[in-house]
Amino acid sequence: MVLLVALAATGLLWAGFAPRGTAQDTADANEAVRQGRVLYLQGCSSCHGLQAQGGNQAPSLIGVGSAAVDFQVSTGRMPLAAPGAQAERKDPIYSQTQIDQLAAYIDSLGGGPKKPVITQTEWDDADLAHGGELYRANCAQCHQAVGAGAPLTYGKYAPDLGKATPTQIIEAMRTGPESMPLFGPGQLDEADAVAVAKYVRHVSEAPSAGGDDLGKYGPVPEGLLAWLVGIGGLLAVCLWIGARQKV
């Protein structure tokens, strides 16, 4: 009798408190993972291994998170075309839906930084001046003062940031691709990361008030132009005056 009551009570409690996940949600999430796995096996497993365990050609993808997959595939770095010093930015070959599916599959293998979501309010509220300070302190030594990019050692380079979207900028900070250091939430929190992204977009898009920006490379090309055109012009005038006096 006691056993029966206990069993009935457990049953009732379970019916009352059992998690009621909608069948629809789970089916969608599983579907994305399943589709992602198919895409993964076709496009990525030859280098990253059948179980994403990595191999002698490429690192393991277990635990890299959806942010890393979205960054690498949406910037066209992956699938890697040819081995080289560094994977280059190219036009992506997968659609955003396919990228989300690939990310869902890799995410299902183990955690890691999630693909960031930036709301319009977060973007509008981001402090551009503070973003600029953080950028100059953390990023400018490699990507140059206005994000035009610069060479590093052994054929590697910090790329021009002009094409990176706000999401990709935050993903790069959170995942630290190749020789770029990782900037975790302990170092740059959510608001800081959005502010840096806003600053990077701002310097890439702001019009150049002083005329042609010469690739925004700063004093070296500007000085070179001043020497060649300015001093060169003066020399030409001197030569012309000298030539006239002989006559």
Binding residues for ligand HEC, rule: CB under 6 A, are: 43-44, 46-48, 57-59, 61, 64, 68-69, 72-73, 75, 77-80, 86-87, 89, 102, 138-139, 141-143, 152, 156, 158-159, 161, 163-164, 168-169, 172-173, 175, 177-181, 183, 196, 200
Task: Provide the minimum distance between the beta carbon of 149 and ligand HEC in the complex, in angstroms, as a whole number.
Answer: 8
Q: Which is nearer to ligand HEC, 84 or 221 (CB)?
A: 84
The whole-angstrom distance between residue 147's C-alpha and the CA centroid of its chain comes to 13
Task: Provide the minimum distance between the beta carbon of 64 and ligand HEC in the complex, in angstroms, as a whole number.
Answer: 4
Q: Which is nearer to ligand HEC, 144 or 213 (CB)?
A: 144
Amino acid 150 reads A
Place of tokens 């300015």: 230
Using the CB atoms, write b or e for 164-178: b if 16+ within 10 Å: bebbbbbbbbbbebe
CA distances for 55 relative to 33, 112, 127, angstroms = 22, 20, 43
Paired with 158 in beta bridges are 150
Q: Which is nearer to ligand HEC, 33 or 200 (CB)?
A: 200
Paired with 157 in beta bridges are 151
Tokens of 228: 């060649």
Q: Which is nearer to ligand HEC, 94 or 217 (CB)?
A: 94
